[in-house]
Amino acid sequence: MKHAAEKIRRLKRKELPRDTVAMAKFLIGCTLVHDVDGDRLAARIVETEAYLTGDAASHAYRGLTKRNPSMFLKRGHAYVYISYGVWPMLNVSSSEKGVGEAVLIRALEPLQGIEAMRRSESERPFDIARGPGRLARAMRVTLADDGADLCGAGPLFLGAPIRHIDPVAISTRIGITKDADRKLRFFERGNPFVSGPKSLNIG
């Protein structure tokens, strides 16, 4: 049987918006694909957050550091770091080379390779990639992917949308304390794979 996900078209860098907020909205409904060990893992992006220049919540707020150089790559590269010493977080750089802005991928709707993503038979489908730490684990994204070109020919890449996208809603970001009132979180309205409290997901 042919899977719809096999037809996923790689996005070209030229197609990506040049503005970080526009990028965060644009990525909703796009796909993330990782070909590992002969298997294809594919999922729809359903939730993102934007981290901007001058944003106190951003890792690039104080400029270049040892862990964040990938945030300063041209748009469309992966910035992966370890949160709380344990969980990998996947971001997509979103500006020009030398400008530290990125979009955090916060939740995915699994499309293909779901059994490989699941940690156990009992894990519920909605839980597989709900939250940035979980989705990185499910997609086998690690620190080794930091700096990867997501618009290139590599195994980890961004793909075009594979179906209709419901309206994109906005809220404040999750899990931060600085600049916490800015509305820079985007999600597909009504999608059950979105993370976070219900109170944030009404839009």
Give me the residues that bind DNA (CB under 7 A), please: 49, 51, 57-60, 62-63, 65-67, 71, 79, 82-87, 89, 91, 102, 104, 119, 127, 131-135, 173-178, 195
> Closest by alpha carbon to 116, among 3, 50, 34, 172?
34
Phi, psi of 167 (to 5 degrees): -55, 145
CB closer to DNA out of 1 and 122: 122
In angstroms, the CA 155 to CA 162 distance is 19
Question: Which residues sit opposite 159 in a β-bridge?
Answer: 10, 31
CB closer to DNA out of 30 and 103: 103
Q: How far is the CB of 1 from DNA (least distance, A)?
A: 30
Q: How far is the CB of 55 from DNA (least distance, A)?
A: 9
CB closer to DNA out of 8 and 195: 195
Q: How far is the CB of 68 from DNA (least distance, A)?
A: 7
Q: Please give the DSSP secondary-structure letter assigned to residue 101.
A: -
CB closer to DNA out of 12 and 62: 62
In angstroms, the CA 73 to CA 148 distance is 10
- Is residue 109 classed as helix, strand or coil in its secondary structure? strand
Q: How far is the CB of 9 from DNA (least distance, A)?
A: 26
